[in-house]
Structure 1
Amino acid sequence: MDRPTPTGPPAPELRIVESRVYRGGNIWSYDPSVHLVVDLGVLEDHPSDTLPGFTDRLLAVLPGLAHHTCSTGVRGGFVERLRDGTWLGHVAEHVALQLQQEAGHDQRRGKTRMVKGSPGLYNVIYGYTNEDVGVAAGHLAVRLVNHLVQAEEGFDFPTELERFLTRAERTAFGPSTGAIIEEAVSRDIPFIRLNTGSLVQLGQGVHQQRIRATMTSKTGALAVDLAGDKDMTTKLLASAGLPVPKQETVRSADGAVAAARRIGFPVVVKPLDGNHGRGVCLDLRDDEEVRAGFAVAEEQSRRGYVIVESFVTGRDYRCLIVGGRMQAIAERVPAHVTGDGTHTVRELVELTNADPRRGVGHEKVLTKIRVDAAAEELVREQGFGLDDVPPAETMVKLALTGNMSTGGISIDRTFEAHPDNVEIAEEAARLIGLDVAGIDFIAPDIASPVREAGGAICEVNAAPGFRMHTHPTIGEPQYIAKPVVDLLFPPGAPSRVPIVAVTGTNGKTTTARMIAHIMKGLGRQVGMTSTDGIVIDERLVVKSDASGPRSARMVLQNPRVDFAVMEVARGGILREGLGYDRNDVAVVTNVAPDHLGMRGIDTLEQLADVKAVVVEAVPRDGFAVLNADDPLVRRMRRRCSGSVVWFTLAEPGSRVRELIDDHCRRGGRAVVLEPTDRGDMIVIRHGRRSMQLAWTHLLPATFGGTALFNVANAMAAAGAAFASGAGLHEIRQGLRTFTTSYYLSPGRMNQVNVHNVDVIVDYCHNAPGMRVLGDFLERYADVKAGQSDLGRISRIGMVATAGDRREDDMRELGAVAAEHFDVVVVREDQRLRGRERGFTAGLVAEGVRSRMGEPGVRCRQVEIVLDETEAVRHVMARANPGDIVVLTVDQHAAVMAELEEMTKRAQPGTHTRDSVGDPDLDPETLQEEARESGDTAARDLEPVPPTP
């Protein structure tokens, strides 16, 4: 390994410069990942083999690193890399993975790459199971590496590790939720965590089901209320002839005593609506014990009611019923310790709690035993004190109830239950109406019929915990998550909605809208994300730039959506990755220079790699609809696991068409243009079959076939719809009824007539987009000129770009606009994106001026009007009847409202500065008028000699 020679002892300068969390596929990985940008500082000159004792110290604190394979592919490969010498950013990656392993999160994916052109900066990427835990692992990894380079004062790794593990345990799913999710994932059912607790959505859109622990979407609210009312539960069970204890509901201590006398001692006192065994007092044998028990139960009762019932002796069994069928039975043994003749009761509790399976609450499969006043009193009743040493093999109870949450243990008895007892438990769950129920039996032996041997149902529980069944202390674990998932998603039931992802530099919004319109015609409830917002079944529900992963998740959470169309922007992919794990169809319209120089994307090839993420997210049975005319898009076919559907504007006989012909001969699909005497026909090809779809000039969005970019968008949409299962008739009808009206396609090629001035409103904001828009304008103007007797038609354009583009890109936009417009008015977006007011517009105008006067360049005048609404008014004031005005907009709603107001305000044939003007008027005259009137809009107008 070539490296600089170290010059002295290093300082621990490893630090995190930036961190991101990818929640779906991204440019680094197919799976969710944490991305840290770290700066090694002087440690860039100090690989691991130059740090004396570093590797040994690292392995001493995290011995699990010895099992990491790293790039060698064999166990111990990472240690080999450490001893040969590797940079500390790579070390931090492996430490972050191992820390998650220590927390029980099986993560093995990671990579470290130097930031191009920035020595000492590294991209550290690794997988995660829980987002918070993954990020915390990265930060602790960096601290540990620095500490091993040079000890940090006050840093104690065992303490920090314990804090990290505690955090991981508290943010992780509980045993019940985790078991259900693990089963769902094994069946390829996606899930979304809806809060920091146990509320989880399984499935997508219309197919979704929700769970909260073991309460499901199918759990009835009335059934939960009945289960929570223990008095009503007992009455219902008794009315069906099921064995239940005698009981009464009381609200005072005196009432409890009176009830106990009527029922007969010993009795049980418990809250009417309690849970987890809290407030339950057992085996009360006189009035004073009942009074004391009432006080304990009342404290845990939410409504103040307390139940007094007969005390049934026997073992405590929990029967789990799912979908009306018994799935597991566990015997619950109360929290206890067993004497060894050496340790005191208190010491025995500490030894028992040291079991790594025990934690706080429900964070682990067993709960730590808590020694409180009640436990101390119970120990005393058994003839011991907490500091006494019980004889060997003597069982000392610390709780009367067998709940796992109070420190109890469980023994699996699933296959020992008598059929009569199983039938009783199933009938109890059906009577209450719970889909998932925990039936608590007290019986001498679950293997004997309770009607003969004695025993009763003491409780019916909604949302029963699973851990006593999935992780019994003694016996075989039961696979009980399967019937729960079967209940929510019966075999063969769908859990996913089809997802079509659309990306590209230009045209992705229109293409997404076309696909959504076609699928709506099939009766689908379409959820769509775009740069304009989130649309659910043609209703705009969120108005913002919604082309990122969060918006995608919002669509997939909507219970009406049965088909999703996602516009996927470069920024969202770089920021958070995709908002889902895979898309059935990926559409890539093109890759052109835009957004370069941002977030490390400096070349078209890098931009193409970002766009290709949606192609990589296509499964084997999915499709990638790719633009065969774009070389960078063509290359993406190698990154697709599914099938490719090409679309192209190329003529027959071209190299691209030869590629497509070969593709179709092998059974592939494509959408092509076939020129005829009557015009261009869009044809869908599948293998050797060719199916005519529509004439381009009959599609409203193509402006009579002159808008070739919308022809391409329509072909991409047709390919995506065909891949999604739509028939030719539905695709044809969808494209024929899709217009560029403001209703269907706001801000995209909207055509408005303002008193014989032809106004086109579009979002075009970069040079490639302006180039294709200009080409359309040339064809459209020629057609219009042939239909007009008004003489020369002038073209006026209002142009702008975002402030976060490169300066050269801004100038290029202006230069391209100069080729197609007689007058260019430059405005600025409302959001300046870090630029000074007027800076962006100045560069665009500079680009216009650089081309003015050149042969074949139309532009003679350039003006700057920064405010968008003022710029619209100024442009319209300069237009004559018959002229063409193109407004490239930022706030399209405000622009359309202004045009509507102009239509109402002005009268046809009037000629005022507020309505129409003459773009051929001498610029010097306009400047003179501006000086006299104070009109700032025309002050930047430059006189240019007329072109011969």
Structure 2
Amino acid sequence: MAPTERPTPSGPIAPDLRIVESRVYRGGNIWSYEPAIHLVVDLGVLEDYPSDTIDGFTDRLLELLPALENHGCSRGVKGGFIERLREGTWLGHVAEHVALQLQQEAGHDLRRGKTRGVKGQPGRYNVIYGYQDEGVGLAAGQLAVRLVNDLVAPAEDFDFEAELESFLRRAERTAFGPSTLAILEEAISRDIPYIRLNSASFVQLGQGVHAQRIRATMTSKTSALAVDIAGDKDLTAKLLGSAGLPVPKQDVVRTEAGAVQVAREIGHPVVVKPLDGNHGRGVGLNLMDDDAVRAAFALAKAESRGGYVVVESFITGRDYRCLIVGGRMQAIAERVPAHVIGDGEHTIEELVAITNSDPRRGVGHEKVLTKIKVDEAAIERVRDQGFELDSVPDKGIMVKLALTGNMSTGGISIDRTFDAHPDNVEIAEEAARLVGLDVAGIDFIAPDIASPVRETGGAICEVNAAPGFRMHTHPTIGEPQFIAKPVVDLLFPPGAPSRVPIVAVTGTNGKTTTSRMIAHIMKGVGRKVGMTSTDGIVIDERLVVKADASGPKSARMVLQNPRVDFAVMEVARGGILREGLGYDRNDVAVVTNVAADHLGMRGIDTVEQLADVKAVIVEAVPRNGVAVLNADDPLVRRMRRRCSGDIVWFSIAAPGSRVRELIDDHCRRGGRAIVLEPTDRGDMIVIRHGRRSMQLAWTHLLPATLGGTAMFNVANAMAAAGAAFALGTGLHEIRQGLRTFSTSYYLSPGRMNLVDVHNVEVIVDYCHNAPGMRVLGDFVERYAAHKARSAELGKMSRIGMIATAGDRRDDDMRELGAIAADHFDVLVVREDARLRGRKSGETSGLIAEGARARMAEGGARCRQVEIVLDETAAVRHVMARANPGDLVVLCVDSHAAVMSELEAMTQQAQPGTHTTRDGVGDPDLDPNALSERARQEGDDAAADLGEPKPAEA
């Protein structure tokens, strides 16, 4: 029923709009190309009451947030959202717009949002909206829900004005300051990515080897020695004075008596300030006598971290801040202390309130000006001028409420960039060079910056490291100066790169092996590769984190590493749904396949929905990027419509098939593809580009394919070749990379590792779902056919150890067992250490049930199904049953522990010898160490996935 058809409530409504779930997407996601907040809200009884049925709802909302008038909503015109409110819209949609507007109140210009119903759950809605700071974004959503409930039925304990003030203060604490934000906006305009490194203003610009860091206006190129010099006002003055620059007379003291004595020697009036202070705190100006010096000394010492206080001669004049970047003057602002101008009608207190009502003034740094705060220091300053707060100053009389012209205390700024005399500019630039700062704020006191200070009198009173930009970017009077540009120029000169190439790999099966192949190829051409995978984070072939690292947090860790100049990201479904991609875009997206796995989790119930999730990396491909897609998978083929860049197909389909016809048409139009060409000598991988065909390699000569029998690794090799070719890698380098990549434990741990244990062929793999078992079973058939002749008595038995994760559906587990029953003579079913919500024995029981049901149907190869829950015990049981010449396939959870066990078995028979095909005797396979390491792997994986750790036995 449409909103306009809903009945008007006859009595009071009990509002129960609530947030059921909240997520923060830090990159591209299934809802948006940009970072977003995702709230799942439950309207409760309000599902029956859209906005037009609640008396006065829209008017009260506009009274509190009048800027909602500017929201266009789906109408696309100003006022469109208000039209929707009056026509009737559900309150989840209202919460979305309120959350956006609250962030705009905090100075975050955000307009992206959408609200969609949760499928199959009436009254629940997905509310998605953009954010600039995730803490502020989440707080905005929470306050929006509370406000909507209060507008429906006012609550006694809810004061929106107070809540808004608290929200704005929180935003001011956690959001970027105006200086940092100015630099970030300039970086974003140049397509330079950034990563926030803490909750304050510590930010990385660029990625990997190209990264530079800033903290406010301090940069990676700022000298620590220069910062120390600028922080020591006495040393700075002596350094500048020795170079002939104008500085006031001064000395440093630690006692009140010392301050009085120095003031007498210098001559009143004087200035007293902390040696290592900032923002004008603890500064006493124009002190005319000993008593004033004593009072100012106490304030200055309280603000000094080291207890040292500077006493210097008071220079009469105006306060100017000169901003020097890279040794060149970029902006000059005249700073005027917080003040009010009398009108002969209002008291000083009333004038402050009128001044603070200026929409440009806000709390802290949330707006271009800060509200004037009337504290004890301000009252004292008013009294020094002969007034009280209730005094009515004459028209035109300026009443100062602060000594210094800092913006953070309510002061204003006047742009004087183009008024400065060249001599003064030269003095400021020389001061910055002497101190050694790349970004410096030079504080001048002079009668007029337009006249030479050496002639008119004036001096440099301070040199500041990390100077604020707000007075220059948002002057109260005058033109704003775009001073972030020269700062970014210092870090990234024109033409300098800021990004590393990113290859993202996803798919139901094969993504880990494909990622490793791509990393191996690029390592061969001299790249320092950072790779994430389900096994951990690898930086330049060194495993630095051992955990399931296929999520967005791991991706950011790679991009923060200063050695990385090429990134390969294995992207899992869970990470996309949980936090998005973790970066803004990938140069190449590789999708291996999409099959029914992980269904029934996080709202993904169909394989088509799963394909939509995996297509996020395809949507993250820019116009100059490439998507490498499996043409044999219809769900992957459809993703081509979501790609802004080019498509490179890969396919193992035979010539003449419908898939090959699609590829032929693609190549006739100049496209690229990786195909398999059958010949009398075997299958050849061929790269096609337009009308050209280039032979790459025979499949049976690639070690990872085990003689061409592992067709899934043939497809993985083709996908890796497609990604490398798309990035401009030469044919020889791609060929060499594939020819030297094997499934040995050290290049591809846990993926098709072939080990010989007393003439028993043992394959260790990670297969854990029905689609994977289907292709693994096909490999077993091919491989066993080649090995049958060497079996004892001419007969080769196949023994499989299988399992799956407990978060799969019951039917998926049964299907896994049924498929395995078609390919193995004996099945041993184990369980993972992490049961993921299942009872012990439940998962293995369902798999065994599926295998036995397939055996009962007839035609299955399997003759016996056994359950051994512990993985190590299951490995021992399987190996005890195997005879020389048999084929054993171990589908493992902790590959390190399993390989350790196999190593121990070999060493028991032939101590001190090396009989396996895969590095037997290596100290990395110590059984005791690896069993503990395997346990740690499970804990680390649980943490990365946001899941609980397994309970201790």
Q: Which one is further off, 13-22 or 669-678?
A: 13-22
Structure 2 residue 176 is the aligned partner of structure 1 residue 157 = no
Given that residues 826 and 865 in structure 2 are in contact (C-alpha distance below 8 angstroms), is that contact kept between their aligned partners in structure 1? yes
Indicate how the Cα distance of structure 1 residues 667 and 753 shifts in structure 2: closer, same or farther if over 3 A, else same: same
Q: Which one is further off, 149-158 or 431-440?
A: 149-158
1:92 Cα offset (Å): 2.4
1:164 Cα offset (Å): 2.6
Indicate how the Cα distance of structure 1 residues 533 and 457 shifts in structure 2: closer, same or farther if over 3 A, else same: same
1:349 Cα offset (Å): 3.1
1:373 Cα offset (Å): 4.5
Give me the TM-score of the superposition, normalised by structure 1.
0.93
Alignment correspondent of 1:169: 172
Alignment correspondent of 1:670: 673
Indicate how the Cα distance of structure 1 residues 405 and 129 shifts in structure 2: closer, same or farther if over 3 A, else same: closer
Given that residues 171 and 366 in structure 2 are in contact (C-alpha distance below 8 angstroms), is that contact kept between their aligned partners in structure 1? no
Alignment correspondent of 1:299: 302
Cα distance per residue 1:849-895 (max 9 Å; x no partner):
11226554221111000001100111011111111111000011111
Given that residues 47 and 85 in structure 1 are in contact (C-alpha distance below 8 angstroms), is that contact kept between their aligned partners in structure 2? yes
Alignment correspondent of 2:41: 38
Alignment correspondent of 2:474: 471
1:824 Cα offset (Å): 0.2
Alignment correspondent of 1:824: 827
Alignment correspondent of 1:101: 104
1:424 Cα offset (Å): 0.8
Given that residues 413 and 476 in structure 2 are in contact (C-alpha distance below 8 angstroms), is that contact kept between their aligned partners in structure 1? yes
Aligned mate of 2:641, from 632, 638, 643: 638
Structure 2 residue 205 is the aligned partner of structure 1 residue 202 = yes
Indicate how the Cα distance of structure 1 residues 295 and 513 shifts in structure 2: closer, same or farther if over 3 A, else same: same
Cα distance per residue 1:633-675 (max 9 Å; x no partner):
0000001000000000011111111111111111111111111
* Equivalent runs, 1:557-706 vs 2, <5 Å: 557-706=560-709
1:372 Cα offset (Å): 4.4
Given that residues 186 and 484 in structure 2 are in contact (C-alpha distance below 8 angstroms), is that contact kept between their aligned partners in structure 1? yes
- Supply the distance in 2 between the matched residues of 1:885 and 1:565 (Cα, whole angstroms): 32
- Supply the distance in 2 between the matched residues of 1:788 and 1:702 (Cα, whole angstroms): 22
Structure 2 residue 869 is the aligned partner of structure 1 residue 866 = yes
Aligned mate of 1:182, from 165, 182, 185: 185
- Supply the distance in 1 between the matched residues of 2:650 and 2:632 (Cα, whole angstroms): 8
Alignment correspondent of 2:766: 763
Aligned mate of 2:355, from 352, 356, 370: 352
Indicate how the Cα distance of structure 1 residues 112 and 297 shifts in structure 2: closer, same or farther if over 3 A, else same: closer
SS across alignment from 1:714 = helix
AA in 1 matched with 2:202: L
Q: CA RMSD in A?
A: 1.9
1:595 Cα offset (Å): 0.6
Given that residues 199 and 210 in structure 1 are in contact (C-alpha distance below 8 angstroms), is that contact kept between their aligned partners in structure 2? yes
Given that residues 796 and 821 in structure 1 are in contact (C-alpha distance below 8 angstroms), is that contact kept between their aligned partners in structure 2? yes
AA in 1 matched with 2:445: I
Indicate how the Cα distance of structure 1 residues 74 and 648 shifts in structure 2: closer, same or farther if over 3 A, else same: same
- Supply the distance in 1 between the matched residues of 2:588 and 2:271 (Cα, whole angstroms): 62
- Supply the distance in 1 between the matched residues of 2:520 and 2:64 (Cα, whole angstroms): 59
Gaps of 5+ in 2: 912-953
- Supply the distance in 2 between the matched residues of 1:343 and 1:64 (Cα, whole angstroms): 30
Q: Which one is further off, 52-61 or 204-213?
A: 52-61
Alignment correspondent of 2:916: none
Given that residues 668 and 687 in structure 1 are in contact (C-alpha distance below 8 angstroms), is that contact kept between their aligned partners in structure 2? yes
- Supply the distance in 2 between the matched residues of 1:478 and 1:104 (Cα, whole angstroms): 19
SS across alignment from 2:273 = strand
Indicate how the Cα distance of structure 1 residues 767 and 234 shifts in structure 2: closer, same or farther if over 3 A, else same: same
Aligned mate of 1:251, from 236, 250, 254: 254
1:611 Cα offset (Å): 0.7
Cα distance per residue 1:173-221 (max 9 Å; x no partner):
1111111111111111111111111111111111111111111111110
* Equivalent runs, 1:411-490 vs 2, <5 Å: 411-490=414-493
SS across alignment from 1:899 = helix
Alignment correspondent of 2:921: none
Gaps of 5+ in 1: 909-948
SS across alignment from 2:822 = helix
- Supply the distance in 2 between the matched residues of 1:271 and 1:162 (Cα, whole angstroms): 32
Given that residues 853 and 860 in structure 1 are in contact (C-alpha distance below 8 angstroms), is that contact kept between their aligned partners in structure 2? no
- Supply the distance in 2 between the matched residues of 1:387 and 1:55 (Cα, whole angstroms): 40
- Supply the distance in 2 between the matched residues of 1:124 and 1:478 (Cα, whole angstroms): 38
- Supply the distance in 2 between the matched residues of 1:132 and 1:254 (Cα, whole angstroms): 49
Cα distance per residue 1:754-801 (max 9 Å; x no partner):
111111100000011011011111111111124557511111100000
- Supply the distance in 2 between the matched residues of 1:876 and 1:252 (Cα, whole angstroms): 83
Alignment correspondent of 1:785: 788
Structure 2 residue 412 is the aligned partner of structure 1 residue 409 = yes
* Equivalent runs, 1:377-396 vs 2, <5 Å: 377-396=380-399
- Supply the distance in 1 between the matched residues of 2:252 and 2:344 (Cα, whole angstroms): 45
Cα distance per residue 1:559-612 (max 9 Å; x no partner):
111111111111111111111111110000000110111111111111111111
1:150 Cα offset (Å): 2.9
- Supply the distance in 1 between the matched residues of 2:644 and 2:175 (Cα, whole angstroms): 33
Alignment correspondent of 1:223: 226
Structure 2 residue 542 is the aligned partner of structure 1 residue 539 = yes
Structure 2 residue 154 is the aligned partner of structure 1 residue 147 = no
Indicate how the Cα distance of structure 1 residues 39 and 265 shifts in structure 2: closer, same or farther if over 3 A, else same: closer
Aligned mate of 2:851, from 848, 862, 873: 848
Given that residues 168 and 366 in structure 2 are in contact (C-alpha distance below 8 angstroms), is that contact kept between their aligned partners in structure 1? no
Structure 2 residue 860 is the aligned partner of structure 1 residue 857 = yes
SS across alignment from 1:555 = helix
- Supply the distance in 2 between the matched residues of 1:789 and 1:704 (Cα, whole angstroms): 22
Cα distance per residue 1:435-460 (max 9 Å; x no partner):
00000111111111112222111111
The 4+ residue runs of structure 1 with deviation greater than 6 A are: none
Alignment correspondent of 1:935: none
Indicate how the Cα distance of structure 1 residues 344 and 98 shifts in structure 2: closer, same or farther if over 3 A, else same: closer
Aligned mate of 2:523, from 520, 523, 527: 520
Indicate how the Cα distance of structure 1 residues 119 and 336 shifts in structure 2: closer, same or farther if over 3 A, else same: closer
Indicate how the Cα distance of structure 1 residues 273 and 734 shifts in structure 2: closer, same or farther if over 3 A, else same: same
AA in 2 matched with 1:592: A
Indicate how the Cα distance of structure 1 residues 903 and 69 shifts in structure 2: closer, same or farther if over 3 A, else same: same
Structure 2 residue 556 is the aligned partner of structure 1 residue 556 = no
Given that residues 535 and 549 in structure 2 are in contact (C-alpha distance below 8 angstroms), is that contact kept between their aligned partners in structure 1? yes
Cα distance per residue 1:537-559 (max 9 Å; x no partner):
11111111111111111111111
Alignment correspondent of 1:937: none
Indicate how the Cα distance of structure 1 residues 72 and 629 shifts in structure 2: closer, same or farther if over 3 A, else same: same
Indicate how the Cα distance of structure 1 residues 561 and 81 shifts in structure 2: closer, same or farther if over 3 A, else same: same
1:751 Cα offset (Å): 1.0
AA in 1 matched with 2:290: D
Given that residues 366 and 409 in structure 1 are in contact (C-alpha distance below 8 angstroms), is that contact kept between their aligned partners in structure 2? yes
Given that residues 755 and 907 in structure 1 are in contact (C-alpha distance below 8 angstroms), is that contact kept between their aligned partners in structure 2? no
Given that residues 826 and 844 in structure 1 are in contact (C-alpha distance below 8 angstroms), is that contact kept between their aligned partners in structure 2? yes
Q: Which one is further off, 328-337 or 94-103?
A: 94-103
Given that residues 102 and 140 in structure 2 are in contact (C-alpha distance below 8 angstroms), is that contact kept between their aligned partners in structure 1? yes
Q: Which one is further off, 646-655 or 103-112?
A: 103-112
Indicate how the Cα distance of structure 1 residues 879 and 209 shifts in structure 2: closer, same or farther if over 3 A, else same: same
Given that residues 508 and 592 in structure 2 are in contact (C-alpha distance below 8 angstroms), is that contact kept between their aligned partners in structure 1? yes
Q: Which one is further off, 760-769 or 173-182?
A: 173-182
Alignment correspondent of 1:805: 808
Structure 2 residue 30 is the aligned partner of structure 1 residue 21 = no
Q: Which one is further off, 615-624 or 599-608?
A: 599-608
Given that residues 382 and 389 in structure 2 are in contact (C-alpha distance below 8 angstroms), is that contact kept between their aligned partners in structure 1? yes
1:380 Cα offset (Å): 3.3
Number of residue pairs aligned between Structure 1 and Structure 2: 908
Structure 2 residue 130 is the aligned partner of structure 1 residue 127 = yes
Aligned mate of 2:271, from 250, 254, 268: 268
1:69 Cα offset (Å): 2.6
Q: Which one is further off, 321-330 or 267-276?
A: 267-276
- Supply the distance in 1 between the matched residues of 2:577 and 2:449 (Cα, whole angstroms): 58
- Supply the distance in 2 between the matched residues of 1:755 and 1:611 (Cα, whole angstroms): 42
Indicate how the Cα distance of structure 1 residues 438 and 576 shifts in structure 2: closer, same or farther if over 3 A, else same: same
1:310 Cα offset (Å): 2.1
